[in-house]
Amino acid sequence: MSGRKNDVLIIEDSMAITILLRDFLKKLGYENVEACTNGKTGIRVFSELENADSKSDEQIKDALRGGAYLYIEKPIRFENLKNVFETLEQERIILEEKPSDDLERITTHLKSASRLSFARLSEYSGTENDLLKKYLSQLEHEKIIMKISDIKEVSCHQCGSLRILPNFFCPVCKSTNFVQGKLIEHFKCGNVSVEDSYKENKCPKCHKEIKILGVDYKSMDNYYICKDCGDKFPEPAQDYFCVKCSNRFLLEKANWVLSPGYKTV
Q: What is the pLDDT of residues 175-212, one digit of tens each?
A: 888 888 888 999 999 998 888 889 999 999 999 999 99
* Distance from C-alpha of 84 to C-alpha of 104, rounded to nearest angstrom: 24
Q: Which of 53, 89, 87, 91 is nearest to 72 (CA)?
A: 87
Residue 133 has pLDDT above 70, yes or no: yes
**In Å, what is the CA distance from 243 to each residue of 84, 164, 222, 236, 238?**
11, 6, 30, 21, 16
* Distance from C-alpha of 256 to C-alpha of 252, rounded to nearest angstrom: 10
Helix axis angle, 78-92 to 15-27, nearest 10°: 60
Which residues are CB-contacts of 207 (< 8 A; sequence separation ≥ 6)?
Answer: none
* Distance from C-alpha of 40 to C-alpha of 19, rounded to nearest angstrom: 20
Q: How many percent of the chain have pLDDT more than 70?
A: 69
* Distance from C-alpha of 161 to C-alpha of 108, rounded to nearest angstrom: 20
Regarding predicted confidence, which is higher, 181 or 29?
A: 181
Q: Mean per-residue pLDDT for 75-84?
A: 65
